[in-house]
Amino acid sequence: MSMTLMDQRRDSGTLPPPSAPLVDIVIPVYNESAVLAQSVTTLYRYLEDRFPFTWRITIADNASTDRTWQIASMLACTLSGVRAIHVDQKGRGRALRTAWTGNDAQIVAYMDVDLSTGLDALLPLIAPLVSGHSDVAIGSRLAAGATVARGPRREFISRTYNTILRTVFANGFRDAQCGFKAVRRSVADVLVPMVKDNEWFFDTELLLLAEHNGLRVHEVPVTWIDDPDSCVQVGKTARDDLKGVARVAYGFARGRGTADLGVEARPPLADDFGRQLVWFAKIGAASTLVSLVLFLLLRGSVGAVWANLIAVGATALGNTWANRRFTFGRRDSRERGRHYMGGVAISLAGLGVSSLALANVSGQLAQVLVLLVTWSLVTIARFGLLRHWVFRAQS
C-alpha cells in the first residue's frame, strides 16, 4: 500500500497527527480519473456544511491504470480530512477490506464514487450506529420510500438477486448491493476477516454474516440514480454473486459462519413468545397447505392412510428446519442433530394420531375434516413440545 505526501509529512513530524474521526467514509475507485475530483469535492463540501460528526474521506484506489492515483494523492494533499491508499490488486471488496482493517474511526462506511446515492441519506445511515441502535446500516433502493431511476435490465437483475437471497437465507434486509453502507468498526474488526470474497459479493457476504450472528442491520431508503457509465460487468458479477450465495449457504448449513463477538454480541430476548408464535403459525400454515394438496392428489391411488403418511412425511424435515431457523433462531450447528431428531419424532407421533383417526372415517370430505382437526390439535401440541423440550435451552 502506498502513502500520500500528506501521510509522509505526518510521519516526518512536520504535521501533528490528526485525532481519530467518528466516521471514515471510504470511496473505492478503479480508473475513475474522469469523476474522482468532482465527486470527492462534492462530498467534502457536503460533510463540511451539513454533517454533524467528525469525519474523514478515504480514497481507496485498487490498481487503477489511469491517472486515478495521481488525482487521489493530489486531493489528499490539498483537502484536510482526505487521505488516499493504494491497493495493488483489483476488487472492491479488497479495497474495502484494506481501508477498514486497522481503521481508527468508530464507524467505517463507504459509497460509490459516482455518488448515485443522494447524500441526504448519509446522516440517517450513520445515526443508528452512533446511538448503538444498530450494528450495520445500508442504503436500500428496494425499501419503502426509496426513489430510484435505473434501466429495466438492472432493475430486474437486482430484484431477482435479492429475491434469491431472501429465498435461500430468509434475510431481513432487502437490498444487498447498494453501494452505500456503514458498520461499527468494532463489528467490522470481527466480521471482515471472515468474509472470503474480495470483489462485488463482499457486501452480501458481510451482511449475511452479520444477520447470521444476530446483529441488527438497519435499512435506509435512498434516492438513487443509475450511472450510465458504470464499469460494472453485470453478467459476470451476477454469476460470481450466485457462486458466492451457494458457498455461503453451504457453509451455514455445515455450521460455519459463527463469530465470537464478545461484548458486541446482542443478548437474546428474555421472552420471545409472541414472535415465535407468529413464525410458527406461518410455517405451520405453509406445511399444512402442502400436506393437504399432497393428500388430495394421492388419496385416490394409495388410500387415505398412506396418502397421509406421505403428505406429512414430505414436510416433516422442512418444517423442523424452518422452525429451528426462524421460530427459535438456531442458526449454528450446536445441538442440530438433537433438534432434528426431536422435531421429526414429534411429527411421527402426530402422524400416528392422524392415521388412527383416518382409519375410522370414510368419504373424502369427512377425511379432510378429520385431518384438519387432528393436524390442528397436533400443531398446538407440537409448538409446546418444540418450545419447552426440543429448543428449551441452547448449550
348, HSE (Cβ side, Cα atoms, 13 Å): 6
> Do 87 and 61 meet the contact criterion of CB atoms below 8 Å apart?
yes
Domains of the chain in sequence order: 5-264 (3.90.550.10), 273-390 (no CATH)
Instruction: Determine contact, residues 59/84, Cβ cutoff 8 Å.
Output: yes
The least confident of 141-150, 269-278, 311-320 is 269-278
pLDDT category of residue 1 using cuts at 50, 70 and 90: very low
Alpha-carbon gap, residue 123 to 247, rounded angstroms = 34
E strand map for 141-276: 147-149, 180-184, 217-221, 223-225
**Mean of per-residue pLDDT scores for the chain:** 88
Residue 5 above 70 pLDDT?
no
pLDDT score of 395: 43
pLDDT at 14 over 50: no
Q: Which three cell numbers stand for residue 209?
A: 454474516
How far apart (Å, rounded) are the C-alpha atoms in residues 109 and 99?
10
The pLDDT tens digits for 82-127 are: 999 999 999 999 999 999 999 999 999 999 999 999 999 999 999 9
Winning range, highest mean pLDDT, from 35-39, 162-166, 344-348, 361-365 = 35-39
Query: What pLDDT shows up at residue 239?
Result: 87
Classified as helix, coil or strand, 159 is helix
Q: Which residues contact 214 (CB under 8 A, 6 or more apart)?
A: 265, 266, 268, 329
**What would the mean pLDDT of 365-369 be, rounded to a whole number?**
87
**pLDDT per residue as tens digits for the range 231-241:** 566 667 888 89
Tell me if 394 sits within 8 A of 334, measured CB to CB: yes
Of the two residues 88 and 8, the one the predictor is more confident about is 88
Q: pLDDT grade, residue 12 (50/70/90)?
A: very low
Share of the chain above pLDDT 70, in %: 92
Q: Is 108 helix (H, G, I), strand (E, B) or coil?
A: strand
| pLDDT (average), residues 48-59 | 97
Name the strands in the sheet holding 217-221, side by side, starting at the edge strand that comes first in the sequence: 82-87, 55-62, 23-29, 107-111, 180-184, 136-140, 217-221
Orientation of helix 202-212 relative to helix 92-100, angle to 10°: 60
Report how far apart, in Å, the C-alpha atoms of 261 and of each of 188, 213, 257 are: 10, 8, 12
Residues 6+ apart with CB under 8 A from 315: 287, 290, 291
Task: Name the residue with cell 493504494.
Answer: 86
Mean pLDDT within 6-10: 41
Three cell numbers, residue 85: 491508499
Residue 272: predicted pLDDT: 79
Judged on CB neighbours under 10 Å (0-12, 13-18, 19+), 2 is: middle
Structural contact between residues 43 and 57, judged by C-beta atoms closer than 8 angstroms: yes
pLDDT at 175 exceeding the cut of 90: yes
